[in-house]
Amino acid sequence: MTPTSPRPSLDRAPFDDQDGRWTPRRVALLIALAWPTQLLAAGGILGANATASVAQSFHTTQVAWFGLTLTLVSTLLTPFAIKLGDLYGKKRVMLAMTALGTVGEALAALAGSFWLVLVGRAIAGFYGPFGALSFAAVRDLFPRRLIKPASAIMGSSVGLVGLGTPFLAGWLVDTWGYRGALWFLAAATAVACALVALLVPETPRHAFDTGFDWLGGLVLGGGLTAVIYAVGQGQSWGWSDGRTLGWLGAGAAALIAFLFVERSSAHPILDLGVLRRRPVALALTAGGLAQTVAFTMPGLAILLALFPHIPGVSAGLGWTAQHNAVVSVSWNLVMFGTGLLVSRYLRHLDPRKVWCAGLAIMATGYTLVGFFHGNELELVLTSCLANVGSGIVVAGAPVLVVGVVSPHEQGLGSGMLNMLVSLFGAVVTAGAYALLNAHSTVFEGTAFYQDAGYAWMFWLGALATLVALALSLFVPPLRDPEEDARPA
Q: How far apart, in Å, are the Cα atoms of 35 and each of 29, 100, 194, 416, 472?
A: 10, 16, 11, 21, 29
- DSSP label at 318? -
Residue 113 to residue 427: CA distance in whole angstroms: 31
The answer to whether residues 154 and 30 touch, using CB atoms and an 8 Å cutoff, is: yes
Closest CA relative to residue 461, chosen from 313, 289, 269: 289
Residue 228 to residue 243: CA distance in whole angstroms: 13
Q: Which CATH class is domain 271-478?
A: mainly alpha
Rg of the Cα trace of the chain?
A: 22
Indicate the CATH number for domain 22-209.
Answer: 1.20.1250.20
What is Dmax (Cα atoms) for the chain? 72
Q: Name the H helices within 59-113.
A: 65-88, 90-110
For position 234, what pLDDT does the model report?
75
Residue 457 to residue 234: CA distance in whole angstroms: 17
For position 63, what pLDDT does the model report?
66
Digit-by-digit pLDDT tens for the chain (488 residues) are: 333 333 333 334 444 435 668 889 999 999 999 999 989 888 888 887 787 678 778 877 666 678 778 888 887 888 888 888 888 889 999 999 999 999 999 999 999 899 999 999 999 999 988 988 888 888 888 888 888 888 888 877 877 787 788 888 878 888 898 899 999 999 999 999 999 999 999 888 766 565 667 788 788 888 888 887 887 777 678 778 888 889 989 989 988 888 888 777 766 766 677 777 888 889 999 999 999 999 889 878 877 887 888 888 888 888 877 788 888 889 888 988 898 888 777 767 788 889 999 999 999 999 999 999 999 999 999 999 999 999 999 888 888 888 888 777 776 777 788 778 877 887 888 788 788 888 888 776 667 889 999 999 999 999 999 999 999 999 887 776 656 544 43
For position 427, what pLDDT does the model report?
82
For position 19, what pLDDT does the model report?
60
**Amino acid occupying residue 5:** S
Residue 402 to residue 137: CA distance in whole angstroms: 11
Q: What is the secondary structure of 243-303 as a DSSP string? A: HHHHHHHHHHHHHHHHHHHHHH-SS-SS-HHHHTSHHHHHHHHHHHHHHHHHHHHHHHHHH
Domain ranges of the chain: 22-209, 213-268, 271-478
Same fold yes or no, 22-209 and 271-478: yes
Residue 173 to residue 180: CA distance in whole angstroms: 6
For position 14, what pLDDT does the model report?
44
